[in-house]
Amino acid sequence: LRVCALRDPLELRSLVTCPMLALVLLAFYGVVSQPNDAETWSLFAAKWLVPFALYRLAAYIFDDERSLLRFETFSLIVLAYLSLTAIFFMVDAKELIFPRYILDESLGYHADRARGPFLQAVANGVTLNLLGLIALNSFRRKRLRGVPGFLFLIALPLAIVATKTRAVWLSFALSILALLFFSPSRRLRRVCLCFVIAGILGLASVVTFADHNTSLGDRLEERGPVMFRMAIYQAGWEMFLQKPFTGWGAADMQAELSKRISDFHQDQFFFHNTYLEILVQYGLVGLLLYLWVVVDLFKLGRKQNQSLLRRDSDLLGSQFRKLWPVLLGVYLLNGSFVVMNYQFVNGFMFTVAGLLLAQNRRIEAPEPNPLGS
């Protein structure tokens, strides 16, 4: 509505747009073959349509400093809520968890973990990791400081541990270490060092003093899910070799996968790998389009003319562009262990990409000539 009211021109020639639009159309073609399946439409929206729409619209909505500050404030509020919810779950203070449906074991997956309102521990953990990196950028700019900043340093590592998800633990550790060793900001390196210390102390205290969290060690040593995923990966690769170019489609893919997995008994099987699922479902064409999207996402944050970028004290300063590859790395690494069907994660990542797109347009736009020549 805002774009229509202000008559903003819709520019379709930009990074990410072409391959993402092609993926939306490719996925839509598969969805219309199952028009009465509500889950298929939901996945189509969560994986392709809504992220693409948010990416395009964010470039027009968040076009000034005030709107960017509101987006940052929203991110910090969500981070605080998710962190508190995860910690309440870990210390068994479930009477403080809101909304109550989070505790319903018949809904979603991993009811024994801090899964938050997303009802999936990985979705909760990836969101905490991404929002935590945004908060680190706020801490570097001194927008997050004092008591809230101190509580943030303590709460986030504990919330990450509470997810009991190895992929989330790995991506969080790698992202913090990457910033600790390669960030040009001394303040950011110091806070990452504090994260490392707080994480070690928090993990040690949880394992030592909380009897109901002794499952953390068992979770690290658990091998059943690894064997299950290896069987899924092998079956998926064999399916790809049968239809390498066109793929199987959503309906045939699930039916064929269920036939090939005989050692495990479940109602549905998932690939637990975003790239393998795209390869099997859409073939090489789909995977190449997705890789095109990934390359364009990295290009969005490439180094621009420093004099035209926002100040480092602003949300999208030059330092943020150095943080963007880390955000993408967290997203892509977790995509190697799960299928990114998570609405909030996809929406948030592509919204931030839209913010960078808007800034790139402002930088590349020719300055008006006051003499008209």
Pair 79, 128: CB distance under 8 Å: yes
List pLDDT tens digits, range 317-346. 888 999 999 999 999 999 999 999 999 999
What pLDDT is stored for residue 264 in this prediction?
63
pLDDT score at 216: 60
* Predicted local confidence at residue 337, as pLDDT: 92
The answer to whether 275 touches 286, Cβ cutoff 8 Å, is no
The pLDDT tens digits for 95-150 are 999 999 999 999 988 888 999 999 999 999 999 999 999 999 999 988 998 899 88
Q: Is the pLDDT of residue 364 over 90?
A: no
DSSP letter at 109 equals: S
- Look at residue 309 in the predicted model and tell me its pLDDT: 61
**C-beta neighbour count of 337 within 10 angstroms:** 18
Which pLDDT value is given to residue 43? 92
The answer to whether residue 231 scores a pLDDT higher than 90 is: no
